[in-house]
Structure 1
Amino acid sequence: MLSLCLLLLLHLSGFGTAHPGSHDETAYFRSLVSSRSVHEARQKLARCSDHIKRKGLDARAATRRAAILDSYRGISHSGAGPKSSRSSTSQAVLSSSENPPCLLTPEATIGPFWVDGELIRSNVTDGEPGIPLILDGEFIDIHTCEPVEDVFWEIWNCNATGTYSGVQDFGHHHGDDDSNLDKTYLRGVQRTDKDGAAQFTTVFPGHYPGRATHIHVLAHVGATILPNNTVTGGHVAHIGQLFFDQDLIAAVESTPHYKANNVRITPNINDGIFNDVNSASGYDPILSYTRLGHSLDDGILAWTTMGIDLSASYEAESAASLTDHGGVAHFHGWSAHVPGAREIIVLVVGLGLVFWLARSFRQFCARSA
């Protein structure tokens, strides 16, 4: 009986000390992927695959990706690739229409590390070590199934050891190091062409606690270019995350720069956002890929087609801004949580209840001993 009482007390104490105002990214995402608007968007997107193929967009995408391969490795397309059903150098598999394109889910996955004001550039590596990654993406209007020209496609991902540039994140990556605010590695913006396509040269992302390996993407629609080579205006039509094949992640994580990260890897199947996308959306969020050469160190070409609703407009809360004078942190939203008056009252009442129940259990246990 005494053991049972101790277990109950431990459970109650855990309830009382839980952080009352933490941001549950996965729960927020789950509420959005189940919304009516997202379901309607998926239905429209599912009808686009045949249209893409008939219009020759898929064939042009395959030709574009084959040209990227030629330019980076200069060998025939019959070269060996990694042992994965997603990996091939054939012209057919360099296309995207075999599976429904990826739907970028609105606002759900902005995460705590978006920095507004990033530069328009294709190569975002800034000398960061790791496996080179060429990312080829194309945007499709879910209403017309046509490619979307002049979308400003933005990406950001962590480096080989799980760190993001440009942010000051207390208690996770960077402590109170202000110098990280001025860094821009693995962040950038590109403008899509007439095929709705754009490319980035980045580094294959590492991992950090609680999340599977991923790349963040954001679509600016109707924006204009400023003299300092950034974008302004328009609206954010969609936000999302792109994931990787688990076998590819394992191969990359076995290489020297990634092995330096001792944080436990979270596989796709244990990532709440990945599971909600994969189970509820009817599309595959994992990037298709092939190696740029015979060795993994030569790099990877990955690609996807992303469906967006151009009429949608969402608020994207940034962790920081990159200005002409350096990075500026925003202490709100995803930053360290400061409880409000209501949360403090709830916490005090909750703690009082816990202490009252704990005293009652101690008295009960003492009588029963």
Structure 2
Amino acid sequence: MVQLCKFLAVAAACLAAPAIAHPGEKHDPHHVKREVHARDAMAAHAKRSLGACESTLHARELNKRSIARRSHTVQNLRKKRGITATPQKWRRNLAALEKWEAIDHNRTGILDYSPATPESMVFAANTSCILSPTVTDGPYYVWGEVVRQNVKEDLYSDGVDVFLEVQYIDINTCRPVQGALVDIWQANATGVYSGISESGNYAADGWDSTYLRGIQQTDRDGVATFESIFPGHYEGRATHTHLLTHLNATLLPNKTLEVGTGSVAHIGQLFWNEVLRSAVEDTYPYNTNTQSITTNAEDMWSIEQADSAYDPFPEYIYLGDDLDDGLFAWIQIGINATDDYTDNSYYSIAAYHDANGGHENSDSSFGGGSGGGGAPSGSMSMSIGGPPTASPSASA
């Protein structure tokens, strides 16, 4: 399992403007540089921790179950969608990647698999056992999204279907992280996030919109699965998908999380290689997106010291012979289950949903907070044990 992974690298920012972050988000370069040193220390600890447990019986058995599950998932998806064409199996040679910021994945190729190719060669690959837990969640995180596997909606969700499997492993034990509640959110095909109505991101239906957002709970193998679309691009950031992981949070009967419960154990972003992104964006409605494209190499969260082994790109296969059939993608993420980033400067709640719809979080400033200059904290105006309290100006 873990021998297929790469370990945590230093998340160094590309400090040059203008491609700095999400629209409206600002970060102090000096603050980001300090974070680089902290991540360096975390990398060394994670490497030692994973190395101590990767050969255990439970770790090997988990890897076997993961291979079988991914194969079974693809077979079921193909059957459900009536796909008979031979699937294209895409894999990447991680050893060939010299530097993260240079990864445009033009090196990615289709290996010549035959029907006799062992499943272990196709579905055992994991891109990263570690994703940096302090990568900003951006100013577009919304509290109050509901538990649902399919985050697509009738409107504003057209695009290339992606069936995403995210597996969480505790770096201290190499055991799956069970019962975690995982938030996912991303831009739609034309580069717009739902739930936000601010300069740089005016969503149709404004604060009330919820497309391409949802929550899933990890199972006994630490797996959460989502049905979504390939994210669209927008100016200033490489194409990416957001993930935020809650541990010990209380799930309410209305399928939302109770405010103030649990910890934030992980904040991360998945990136998508340039070859795949280019292929997707030749299709409709991605080809109607007029915003400028930012490559992975140009993104502010590009990574130096890639030999420390940070690779936030999911593995994926075409379910059929073209993108119309959709993609199955998977990634394994190592986290320290004892960490809590609730008070981290990169945890920012921009808005929330309650029984009355969507609202702006009046305590969150998109321009960044004081002190280190990072994104604002995740605090909201709220009544203890109850829903957040909206400011009058924030009503939808």
Structure 1 length normalisation: TM-score?
Answer: 0.77
2:146 is the alignment partner of 1:119: yes
- Out of 23, 28, 44, the position equivalent to 2:26 is 23
Deviation at 1:143, TM superposition (A): 0.5
Asked if structure 2 preserves the Cα contact closer than 8 Å seen for 1:166 and 1:181, the reply is yes
Aligned to 1:32: 35
- The match for 2:327 is 300
Relative distance call for 1:293 and 1:100 in structure 2 (3 A) is closer
The answer for the alignment partner of 1:335 in structure 2 is 366
In structure 1, what is the equivalent of residue 62 of structure 2?
57
Residue 73 and residue 168 in structure 1: after superposition, are their counterparts in 2 closer, same or farther (change >3 A)?
A: same
The separation in 2 between residues aligned to 1:239 and 1:200, in whole angstroms, is 17
CA distance in 1, matches of 2:250, 2:134: 21
Pairing 1:79–2:87 present: yes
Structure 1 residue 167: deviation in Å? 1.3
* Residue matched to 1:311: 338
Aligned to 1:362: none
1:43 aligns with 2:70: no
Which residue is 2:169 aligned to? 140
More deviation, 289-298/98-107: 98-107
Question: Which amino acid is 2:146 matched to?
Answer: L
Q: Give the corresponding residue for 1:322.
A: 353
Which residue of 1 is the match for residue 19 of structure 2? none
The DSSP-based 3-state class of the residue aligned with 1:55 is: helix
CA RMSD of aligned residues (A): 2.9
Structure 1: 5+ residue stretches without partners: 1-20, 341-369
CA distance in 1, matches of 2:197, 2:330: 30
Residue identity in the other structure for 2:139: P
> Does the CA-based 8 Å contact 2:91-2:316 persist in structure 1?
no
TM-score of the two chains, using structure 2 as the length reference = 0.72
Q: 1:159 aligns with which of 180, 188, 192?
A: 188
Looking at structure 1, the residues matched to 87 and 312 of structure 2 have their Cα atoms a distance apart, in angstroms, of: 26
Q: Distance in 1 between matches of 2:145 and 2:204?
A: 18
Q: Which residue of 274, 279, 291 maps to 1:251?
A: 279
Does structure 1 retain, via aligned residues, the 8 Å contact 2:183–2:214?
yes
Aligned to 1:169: 198
Gaps of 5+ in 2: 1-23, 93-107, 372-396
